[in-house]
Structure 1
Amino acid sequence: MTRTETILAGRRSWSVDWPEYAPTDITPPELRPSALAHHVPAWAEAAATPADVTDWADRQASALVPFELGADGWPMHPLGRTGRVGRNLGLWGENQAADPIVVAGYGQERRVLLITRSDIEQEAIPGGMVDAHLGETAPAALVRELQEETGVDLRDHTPVILGRDIVDDWRASDHAWVSSTSALYQLPTTVTAVGADDALEATWWPFGSMDELTAAIEAAGRTLYAAHVPLLTRALDHLTR
């Protein structure tokens, strides 16, 4: 479920008074306070609530998309209410991701490389979270995620940065969300790609237009990950200028 399917536009803004607002807690068992007290997953921070985070000023300063803290000191989703609270992501507040959009060929022969995600079994851009706690940067994460999930090594290629945006991720909540650096890699022809890590498969799909891409995916009995449609659309717009 995406954020925009949850809250009506007129109720989304934090400035709209909504005393009856009753969001659903989406925190999985492994991230609940009782579990974190005994074991912290390697991909998550130990803070049981945003009140336990001590570096909000630094996080706000380095955010891809600016965000504010509420009167309680908790981070507020930059696009407003989501209908969900808690945390189903590694960090409270912004979780930075990297989405490499790899395109091969030109015109009607154009292809885009997508993976079948293992968590939702939908076709998506091969990407993932920036390992900020290890000092990783978004450019490094673009290369790493692509190689881990498809075996394609583009460390010697310079991509075009298309944007830094909020992603309508199914794990997002009022206090934890995903912002992505999306980048376009252009290749003359397709290269061998094999699904690995979090990817069940890696496939080159027709990319002459979004309609062509969607039709090809649906004809194969698969589904395009809705949160990545805006990123792919922007890449296509860039390519067809």
Structure 2
Amino acid sequence: MEQSHNTSNMNIKIIQNPEAYPGYPNRRIAISPNLINAEGEIIVPDGEWTMNNNPLPTPEEIIDFKHKNLSTDSVGRPLSPLYETELFNPLIGAITGKGNYYNWGPNYTADSVVMTRDPEPKILLIQRKDTELWALPGGFLDNNENAIDAAIRELKEETNLTIENDQPVLIYKGLVDDPRATINSWPETTACLWKINETDQILAGDDAQNTAWFNKNEMPTNLFGSHKYLIELAFEHQYKSKLVDMLNSSDKSNDITENSGGHMAYEHLIISGQDKSIFVKTINLNKLHNQTDAKNLQKYIQKEKMYYDHLTDIAFSKLPSNINFVDDKTLVMDALLDKDRWKWRIPKNDDSNKYIADILDTLSQLNNLDVPYHIDEYLGITPTHITLWDEGWAGIDDNKIRQIDQKIESFNDMFRPESKNKIQNLLNNLSNLKDIAAYSRKLNNLVLSHNDARQSNIAWHPDLGVKIVDWAWAGLAPEKADSTMFLIDLAKSGYDVDKYLREHFDKNHANTLIGFWLNHCMQSNPNDNETIRFQQVVSALAAYELINKI
């Protein structure tokens, strides 16, 4: 329920706060973003929603807030980084003042996530005296105390547990939710993960009225503040650590099988479990010849994870579930297996038409999504649409055409007889195709694209639809780039795609791909073999044949 604070001022609303922290106001204030003074500072009136407002910040404190890039209101009080979500929302509202905190602005705390080393680990919790909610042991940093020392001290005070190891895993640092927070004073915590053997030498003390061990399935549902999230981070770290240990073990268990396909410097594994199977993509450092290769591959696997995060954030559902970045070189996600009716190639039955229709529809949806322009720039990666040109037609001159001709001649015995004339026709037209490509690239309207939409990167299920993996090449491309790549791949597999060409095929992008594939078939890479180079030529031929059908 809400009511106007002042009927003559519609810029202010008062909101009931029935779940207020003990001792806190039972009213909250919401204001219009237009309520500002001549200097452009937000005016936040005081009232029954204000707690512990004196003394106001000193001039020196206000300068310090500015150095920390914190906004301030019209009387110099700092504003939480999340203040707009409360203060400007008439359904939520805000508490003002310092509340129960010591300082204006951020108040630094430390929380301990103590986890047992059991196969099904447990977490140590305390029951708070103030709210009776279960929580992680923790509290405020003393003057000149660091977060780890504070975590150790608070753990001893609240549970009687002494931690000898002073090097925990830091699983989180930053702003957290807390019922005591106001828009002018809030907690920022450091969460420390300690792994120990379970002990019964625990005894509630200080702010705790009880303490107990809980496994994941017994965890209380209503935990204090952001502690549920911090505990989830701890279990996620435990899962990742276990996974890394399995991958680094010289004795691979029977539960791990290699999955063929993909870039040769990546290792693709399936880890089978009782409930589900996990797909792992990790950089195989043994197949790399220098540090530059390793750094480049790390950038691309980081890019892939960043795209998964971006697409998840904007509710693009055509992705595998439970995607995690284990370390700088490993991605894990739920496996999509044939035994569960997932298909990674076009099915050879009546489902083939639905397979194609579902995938083309998904690729079209992708073109309408927001582009995360910052990812390539942040990682120092050349955007894919530029790479396709720079490593394609831009590197093909008359001398390179002669070299390509000689390279393809070396594959002569691998071609079917009916393909040899078609290959020669393609070679005879390379100069003309390059001129067309140079002109057409200036006309492109670029949209978000996967840029490697081959069958092997797309899983399809007759009931669950499409899931797309391997986003390392994602970025800008012409509107039908992905559907063009997909149709070329189907045609290369011998499937008749003629009826889809008019609506889903871009001959100019197909031409761009021809240049890229033919130039790459000349490259020498110790991680590759001649079969890959031959397949690039076959892809170029398939694209050329489809161009000639339009």
Could you say whether these structures have the same fold, taking a TM-score greater than 0.5 normalized by the shorter chain as the test? yes
Q: Name which of structure 1's ranges 69-78 and 115-124 shifts more when overlaid on structure 2.
A: 69-78
1:188-241 deviation line (CA, Å, top 9, x unaligned): 33341110000001111113xxxx133xx36xxxx4224211111111111111
* Residue in structure 1 matched with residue 178 of structure 2 by the alignment: 169
Contact kept, 8 Å, 1:24 with 1:84, in 2: the verdict is no
Residues 1:115 and 1:53: Cα distance change in structure 2 (over 3 Å): farther
Counterpart position of 2:33: 17
Deviations 1:75-121 (A, max 9, x none): 1101223311111111110000000110112332x110000001110
> 2: distance between equivalents of 1:57 and 1:185?
38
DSSP-derived class of the 1:185 partner: strand
- Which residue of structure 2 lines up, in the alignment, with residue 101 of structure 1? 113
- Between the aligned partners of 1:122 and 1:173, the Cα distance in structure 2 is 20
The question of whether the paired residues in 1 share the 8 Å contact of 2:159 and 2:204 is answered with: yes
Partner Cα separation in structure 2 for residue 188 and residue 53 of structure 1 = 50
Equivalent pair of 1:98/1:141 in contact (CA under 8 Å): yes
Q: Which residue of 1 aligns with 2:208?
A: 199
Tell me what 1:43 maps to.
Answer: none
- Shift in alpha-carbon separation, 1:174–1:130, aligned structure 2, 3 A: same
Distance 1:59 1:188 in 2: 43
- Pairs within 5 Å for 1:79-98: 79-81=82-84, 82=86, 83-88=94-99, 89-98=101-110
Deviation at 1:155, TM superposition (A): 3.8
**Greater fraction helix:** 2
Residue 124 of structure 2 corresponds to which residue in structure 1?
A: 113
Q: 2:141 aligns with which of 108, 123, 130?
A: 130
Q: Distance in 2 between matches of 1:163 and 1:186?
A: 16
**Distance of 2:234 and 2:66 partners within structure 1:** 28
Mind listing any 5+ residue stretches in structure 1 that lack a counterpart?
34-47
Match of 1:36 in 2: none
Query: Which structure exhibits the higher relative contact order, with contacts defined as CA atoms closer than 8 Å and separated by 6 or more residues?
Result: 1
Structure 2: distance between partners of 1:119 and 1:53:
34
- Classify 1:60/1:184 alpha carbon distance in 2 versus 1 (closer, same or farther; 3 Å): farther
Alpha carbons of 1:24 and 1:228: their partners in 2 closer, same or farther (altered >3 Å)? farther
1:96 partner amino acid: Y
Partner in structure 2 of residue 75 of structure 1? 78
Question: Contact between 2:70 and 2:80, CA under 8 Å: does it hold in 1?
Answer: yes
Cα pair distance change 1:94/1:201, threshold 3 Å: same
Aligned in 2, Cα 1:149/1:24: closer, same or farther, shift over 3 Å?
same
**What's the offset of the Cα at 1:56?**
4.5
Task: Give the number of the structure whose alpha-carbon radius of gyration is greater.
Answer: 2
Quote the Cα distance in structure 2 between the aligned partners of 1:191 and 1:137.
Answer: 28
- 1:21-57, CA deviations, whole angstroms, 9 ceiling, x for partnerless residues? 8786241xxx454xxxxxxxxxxxxxx122x363345
Shift in Å, 1:125: 0.2
* TM-score between the two structures when normalised by the length of structure 2: 0.33
CA shift for structure 1 position 60: 6.7
How far apart are the structure 1 equivalents of 2:160 and 2:59? 36
Assess if the C-alpha contact under 8 Å between 1:152 and 1:191 holds in 2: no
Shift of 1:186: 0.5
1:54 aligns with 2:60: yes
Give the RMSD, CA atoms, in angstroms.
Answer: 3.0
Same amino acid, percent of matched pairs: 27
Shift of 1:67: 3.3
Assess if the C-alpha contact under 8 Å between 2:138 and 2:151 holds in 1.
Answer: yes
Q: TM-score, normalised by structure 1?
A: 0.71
More displaced, 135-144 or 79-88? 79-88
Is contact 1:74-1:175 (8 Å) kept? yes
Classify 1:25/1:189 alpha carbon distance in 2 versus 1 (closer, same or farther; 3 Å).
same
Which residue matches 1:234?
233
Report the residue type matching 1:239 in the other structure: Q
Task: Measure the CA separation in 2 of the matches of 1:205 and 1:56.
Answer: 44
Name the CA shift for 1:179/1:136 in 2 (closer, same or farther; >3 Å): same
Q: Give 1:197's aligned amino acid.
A: D
CA–CA separation in structure 2 for the residues paired with 1:26 and 1:232: 32
